């Protein structure tokens, strides 16, 4: 246990300080290249550098590799390699989308490709665990599930990246919840592999929170989403990981059920508008998509900061539901097949 | 009020996920086919399980859509 504690502390510190230390240099470099986008919710519309994805990727990769040396006997090498490759491919997909506006189908299809290393390396168990009821053996179906899981987690995190600090803060809360879940289920190695995602998100949040000094971009959001999805697969906690992501899943569900097609968010009408005192409120456009933020501001206009904290409260609530699910997983009311 | 409804919606989704898992484990995973040879039996049973799982997912989405319309009716109209 002492090995795990030391490895967890060291890899978490590496993830945090790599991201925390490199972001200022990245901001300077992006500003020099004029790689910046308008922050539409800021008074005056300040230009904010983007993407922060490269630093998030480096933070996660360096800290995950450190685990290989800190826990040489215990580490799941195939899982670790799958995590590194899948996350790196997701970064490339996101970076292409950061630089060029691609069609709505580009990211889901390309992220399916990012899931292939998990299958090729055999870094999964083809049994889907359902809390309370046990496991189902679905060897063929599970391959399809892997191909869908990475695009879903990647795009779900990307779709919630709508305001300052939300994507990084949300992933931080969901990843800490997932790490606790894995500790409860005594899957200590994968629990420790989850911590770098949480601490990289925490360090990035420092610069991404309102008023943001950098945006993660599609590359940053997809890195965080793909890493989270890969951990869910190699940790065999797919269902519980989905529970911790419920607010983001609801956001995607509301968007898709109102737009009724897969489309880039840039291509649809904005679901919210600004009031005179620069708060955010719901739009009067009847054909604008319904999103989580639109529902949050439905009863009264809120500031960007207030909306962020509301989404974090929802994330904490889902995280608690995920932890409760892990605790009751020990209670099996039906023998597994 | 709208924010409380979102918490309630998350709670309902959680229950639906647990219940959906229960249906898959207790009913769908028990399906087996015999009489066509070992490989074909397994293949046919897998296809039937996959189709039922997909139908359940579609049903789950329809239930959620109905619930969403009911719970957030006021907000959506606004």
Tell me if B25 is assigned to some domain. no
- Those residues with Cβ within 8 angstroms of residue A43's Cβ, 6 or more apart along the chain or in another chain: A278
Q: Chain A contacts of B13, Cβ < 8 Å?
A: 246, 249-250
Sign of CA dihedral B31, B36, B40, B44: negative
Tell me if B9 is assigned to some domain. no
* Cβ atoms < 10 Å from Cβ of A315: 26
* Cβ atoms < 10 Å from Cβ of B70: 8
Q: Are A171 and A15 in contact (CB under 8 A)?
A: no
pLDDT tens for residues A119-137?
Answer: 999 999 888 888 888 888 7
Tell me if B47 is assigned to some domain. yes
CB contact under 8 A, B25 and A138: no
- Look-up of token digits 């997932």: A178
Tell me if B8 is assigned to some domain. no
Tell me if B5 is assigned to some domain. no
pLDDT tens for residues A265-312?
Answer: 666 667 788 888 888 888 777 777 888 998 898 888 999 999 999 999
User: Distance (Å, rounded) from C-alpha A196 to C-alpha A130?
Assistant: 26
Give me the number of domains chain B comprises: 1
pLDDT of residue A120: 95
Model ipTM value? 0.86
pLDDT tens for residues A5-42?
Answer: 999 999 999 999 999 999 999 999 999 999 999 888 88
- Look-up of token digits 């579609």: B58
**Residue count of chain B:** 78
A250, A296, A334 ranked by CB distance to B25: nearest:
A334
Tell me if B40 is assigned to some domain. yes
Range of B60's domain? 33-73
Give how far Cα A136 sits from Cα of A115, A125, A335, Å. Answer: 21, 11, 10
A135, A137, A321 ranked by CB distance to B14: nearest:
A321
Q: Does A299 touch chain B (CB under 8 A)?
A: yes
Q: Are A160 and A248 in contact (CB under 8 A)?
A: yes
Average pLDDT of chain A, as a whole number: 90
CB contact under 8 A, B46 and A141: yes
Q: Does A298 touch chain B (CB under 8 A)?
A: yes
**Partners of A192 in the β-ladder:** none
């Amino acid at each position: 246990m002492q090995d795990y504690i030391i490895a967890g502390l060291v890899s978490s510190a590496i993830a945090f300080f790599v991201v925390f230390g490199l972001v200022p240099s990245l901001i300077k470099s992006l500003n020099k290249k004029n790689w910046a986008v308008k922050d539409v919710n800021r008074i005056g519309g300040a230009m904010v550098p983007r993407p922060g994805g490269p630093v998030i990727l480096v933070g996660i990769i360096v800290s995950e590799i450190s685990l290989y040396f800190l826990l040489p006997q215990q580490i799941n090498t195939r899982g670790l390699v799958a995590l590194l490759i899948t996350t790196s491919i997701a970064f490339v997909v996101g970076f292409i989308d950061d630089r060029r506006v691609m069609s709505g189908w580009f990211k889901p299809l390309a992220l399916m490709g990012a899931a292939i290393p998990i299958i090729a390396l055999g870094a999964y168990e083809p049994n889907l665990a359902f809390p309370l009821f046990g496991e189902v053996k679905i060897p063929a179906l599970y391959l399809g599930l892997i191909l869908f899981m990475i695009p879903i987690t990647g795009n779900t995190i990307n779709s919630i990246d709508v305001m300052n600090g939300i994507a990084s803060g949300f992933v931080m809360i969901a990843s800490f919840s997932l790490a606790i879940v894995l500790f409860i289920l005594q899957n200590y190695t994968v629990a420790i592999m989850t911590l770098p995602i949480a601490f990289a998100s925490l360090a990035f949040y420092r610069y991404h929170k309102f008023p943001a000094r950098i945006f993660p971009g599609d590359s940053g959001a997809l890195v965080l989403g793909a890493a989270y999805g890969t951990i869910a697969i190699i940790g065999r906690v797919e269902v519980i990981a989905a529970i911790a992501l419920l607010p983001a899943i609801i956001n995607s569900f509301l968007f898709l059920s109102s737009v009724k097609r897969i489309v880039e968010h840039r291509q649809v009408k904005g679901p919210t508008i600004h009031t005179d005192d620069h708060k955010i409120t719901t739009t009067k456009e009847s054909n604008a998509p319904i999103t989580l933020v639109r529902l949050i501001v439905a009863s009264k206009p809120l500031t960007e900061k207030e909306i962020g904290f509301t989404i974090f409260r929802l994330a904490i609530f889902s995280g608690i539901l995920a932890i409760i699910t892990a605790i009751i997983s020990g209670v099996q009311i039906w023998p597994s097949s | 009020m709208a924010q409380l409804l979102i918490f309630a919606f998350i709670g309902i989704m959680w229950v639906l996920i647990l219940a959906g898992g229960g249906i898959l484990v207790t009913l769908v995973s028990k399906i087996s086919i015999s009489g066509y040879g070992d490989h074909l039996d397994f293949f046919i049973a897998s296809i039937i399980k996959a189709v039922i799982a997909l139908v359940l997912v579609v049903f789950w989405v329809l239930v959620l859509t109905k619930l969403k319309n009911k719970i957030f009716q006021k907000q959506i109209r606004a």
